[in-house]
Amino acid sequence: MIVVDKSVFILNTKNTTYVFHRMENGYLEHLYYGDYVDFKGHYDAIIPKVEFPNGSLVVYSEEYGNIALETRAQEISTRGKGDVREPMVDVTFADGNKTCDFVYQSYEIVAKTNLQDLPSAYGEEIESLVIYMKDVRYGLILALTYSVFVESNVITRSSKLIHEGEGNIIVDRLLSMQLDLPKSSYTITSFQGAWAREMQKHTLTLDGGIFVNNSKAGISSNRNNPFMMLSDATTSEEYGACYGSNLIYSGNHYEAVEVGSNKTTRFLSGMNPFGFSFTLMPGQTIESPEAVLTFASNGFRGVSANMHQFVRNHIVRGVHQFKERPILINSWEASYFDFSEASLFRLARAAKGVGIELFVLDDGWFGKRNDDTSSLGDWSVNTKKLPNGLKGLAEKINRIGMDFGIWVEPEMINADSDCYRNHPEYAVNATLGEQSLGRHQMILDLTQLVVQDYVIEQITGVIESANITYVKWDMNRVFSDVFTASLPPDRQGEFSHRYVLGLYRVLKVLTERFPQVLFESCSSGGNRFDLGMLCYMPQVWASDNTDATCRVAIQTGYSYGYPMSVVGAHVSASPNHQTLRVTSLETRFQVACFGLLGYECNLVDLSSEELELITKQVAWYKKYRAVLQFGDYYRVMSNEAGRYQWMVVSKDKKTAIGLFFQTLVEANYSYPTFQATGLDDDRIYTFKNRRSEFNIKVFGDLINSISPVHLKQDSLAHNIVAKFMKKEYEKEEYIVSGSVLNNTGIQLKQAFVGTGYNDDMRMFQDFASRLYIIEEV
């Protein structure tokens, strides 16, 4: 809810309040952002009392000699007028002057609207406060929009420059939000990484200087995800003050945290000013992406809960928003580029046999693509591999009762492609030989309308060529050496942003043209995992790394800012193709099942025993899919000596699933608790583990301490015994109150430590995991 009381502006969500006011000089001073506060109409107490500027500070003007902007918390800041901290807006006027002076003009409260060319959050009955500031000398208006998402405890912010004056203005930076906080020494949590190592949690305490989390890769990137948190030093998973921030944008982003001379903290977020320079002609406007802010006083968990609710309800949209997502088989790690219609169909049949619902044909089906050096840009089927086209293959697959989906990488072009031979000018920095390539490919120049239309038509052709219900939209290199002939020399600084705008137009047209198609965004895994893409595509392939041990950390990282309903997670081969680590099929599944489950391995080569196990996994996942995909997710234990516990609880609190994962065995550590959370204290539940079997070979030659005959390791006799003598996991089964689950947790069965064994022991080796099923009685 938005309240304006004379010069004070109050934005209330269910649990938070955000307040600022208009100062005497027409600037906007930030007063408070935190837990919900009821002012009962009295604000004087929280307005700073300043009679004289401290020390040698520059003051705003002789008239307002008490206003030294460097020490005032502001809603926006620019260059000049005494504030020497990082600005939110920076422009160069036609006369070369860079000093800005935006003064309050007016405000309006309106129903939230979409941004013009950028994706934005949406929702019914969402109010926006729009404040108009103006630099009257140059006729430049800065419109600030604050939208209030009451239930999610989120406030979004965006800014827009409207040029009503004379001459061209160069916009050097237009960030989306600024949050000036009253103290220093916040703990900053950001999520950094690389290919196959996305979303590694990184923390530091900043009590001086500046910290920047950003992307210069042209995409939001796996290097630094735009989601960030600022918290008190004492904040933990469940307790303490925490701010969360994200950006609805898929290009270069910039989040800066600066501690000023008066020991306060400025937090900024928006498009990266690096390489950015945008010319505004008289009459033109430029809008920033929308920034997302939340606050919680119940720790990281509170921020995550707010972000999850916000992303599910106000970012993801379309027919798939709340629809259970299909279990898929993806051909990539099953056969890479090497397949035929027959081999794909064999894979589909094996997948159907275990209950999988959607067959996804990944890279290698088009042009003459047998490796990654050619054919991107030529979206016509390779008839050597698929003589009956996509249509023929899709029909066969549909006939056995599976849906059919396809991989595309529409933003890319190989030099070895008909597209490049016919239209070299379609590529970014088209002069081949000059630019550095990534995965042998160039990027199509989506700043050009003709190239956008080319991509739209090509992909329309692909989707219409067969019964395609799913599209994996990939993007496998970062930007480098950017240059476009479509812009004049002095406007090359617009390239990166214009590319993103071009991409958004393409995505808008295609997703509106094919509303039934389930799109999954991908960029070498999570190289473009952001809220911008999620406005068009309801799920993302989170990482090319499918090693369960790595995935547990990666998925935990995503969980801070994103709900599990957008995270693609697959079971792949063992040894894993990225790490060569050997992990049990059960652990691979138990970690993947917390996301949108798929399989990405050659099922045709698996043993009947493994297929039987997968059949059970798939059936189990279907039973609990709604809660796993759309329940409330909690981190219970995050990397405590390599141990993780997760929980997901249905909205009605009737059903919950828990995961316990262990990286490495610790000797003589055998009595952990499973600490549940999120259940109803007053209800009674059953707590059970998901039973499965293990191979007695885990005992090694300890088997001889109970075997009547001596078994030599890996001998024929040992293998025969192992094949027929499967052991069941320990049985955990209790009736327990929600209150116990939430507070004391469950004492799990003793883990094997080498001093005895019976059927009640929990065999929990390296990379072991268990799923716990909690259901209301």
Which residues are catalytically annotated? 474, 544
Among 524, 574, 576, 578, binds ligand GLA (CB under 6 A): 524
243: contact with ligand GLA by CB under 6 A = no
Please check whether residue 725 is in contact with residue 678, taking contact to mean a CB–CB distance below 8 angstroms: no
Among 522, 552, 696, 773, binds ligand GLA (CB under 6 A): 522
**CB-wise, 332 or 772, nearer to ligand GLA?**
332
Residues 177, 124: contact at Cβ < 8 Å? no
- Site pattern 534..563 for ligand GLA (x: CB under 6 A): -------x--x-------------------
User: Using CB under 6 A, which of the segments 395-403, 488-496, 519-527, 666-674 binds ligand GLA?
Assistant: 519-527
In whole angstroms, how close is the CB of 377 to ligand GLA at the nearest point? Answer: 14
Asked if residues 653 and 776 have their Cβ atoms less than 8 Å apart, the reply is yes
Residue closer to ligand GLA, measured from CB, 407 or 560? 407
Instruction: State the nearest-atom distance from the C-beta of 56 to ligand GLA, in Å.
Output: 55
Q: Which is nearer to ligand GLA, 306 or 331 (CB)?
A: 331
Helix (H, G, I), strand (E, B) or coil at 333: helix
Residue 776: other Cβ atoms inside 10 A: 16
> Minimum CB separation from ligand GLA for residue 418, in Å?
19
Report how far apart, in Å, the C-alpha atoms of 661 and of each of 220, 289, 588 are: 30, 38, 11
Q: Which stretch binds ligand GLA (CB under 6 A): 226-234, 522-530, 697-705, 761-769?
A: 522-530
**What is the maximum span of the chain, computed from C-alpha positions, in angstroms?**
99
Q: How far is the CB of 472 from ligand GLA (least distance, A)?
A: 7
Considering only residues 321-380, where is the footprint of ligand GLA by CB under 6 A?
A: 332, 362-363
Instruction: Write down the least CB distance from residue 437 to ligand GLA, Å.
Output: 15
Task: Count residues binding ligand GLA (CB under 6 A).
Answer: 11
What mask of x and - would describe binding to ligand GLA in positions 388 to 407, judged by CB under 6 A? -------------------x
CB-based contacts of 637, cutoff 8 Å, min separation 6: 643, 644, 645, 675
Which of 474, 494, 530, 586 contacts ligand GLA by CB under 6 A? Answer: 474
Q: What distance in Å separates the CA atoms of residue 626 and residue 605, rounded to the nearest whole number?
A: 31
Nearer to ligand GLA by Cβ, of 247 and 408: the residue is 408
Which of 469, 475, 453, 458 lies closest to 514, judged by CA?
A: 469
How many other C-beta atoms are found inside a 10 Å radius of the C-beta of residue 79?
Answer: 17
- CA–centroid distance for 482 within its chain: 26
Nearer to ligand GLA by Cβ, of 29 and 544: the residue is 544
Given the rule CB under 6 A, which of 221-229, 427-435, 517-525, 611-619 is the region that contacts ligand GLA? 517-525
For the bound state, the minimum distance from the C-beta of residue 322 to ligand GLA, rounded and expressed in Å, comes to: 26
What gap in Å lies between CA 169 and CA 513, rounded to an integer? 37
Alpha carbons within 13 A on the beta-carbon side of 391: 5
* Nearer to ligand GLA (CB atom), residue 494 or residue 544: 544
Judged by beta carbon, residue 180 or residue 474, the one nearer ligand GLA is: 474
Q: Shortest approach of ligand GLA to residue 221 CB, angstroms?
A: 14
Tell which residue, 54, 60, 13, 16, has the closest CA to residue 35.
Answer: 16
Amino acid in position 624: Y
HSE-CB of 348 using CA atoms within 13 angstroms: 25
Question: Shortest distance, CB of residue 439 to ligand GLA, whole angstroms?
Answer: 8
**What is the amino acid identity at position 313?**
N
Q: Which of residues 118 and 334 has its CB atom nearest to ligand GLA in the complex?
A: 334
Q: From the list 17, 476, 559, 645, which residue makes contact with ligand GLA (rule: CB under 6 A)? A: 476
Q: How far apart are CA 162 and CA 131, in angstroms?
A: 13
User: Which range, of 309-317, 461-469, 521-529, 721-729, touches ligand GLA by CB under 6 A?
Assistant: 521-529
Phi-psi domain of 745 (left: phi exceeds 0; alpha: psi -120 through 50; beta: other): left
**Which position's Cβ is nearest ligand GLA?**
363
Position 525 contacts ligand GLA (CB under 6 A): yes
Contact 89, 83 (CB under 8 A): no
Closest Cα to residue 267, out of 16, 18, 9, 86?
86
The C-alpha atoms of residue 442 and residue 133 are separated, in whole angstroms, by 42
For ligand GLA, the binding residues (CB under 6 A) are 332, 362-363, 407, 474, 476, 522, 524-525, 541, 544
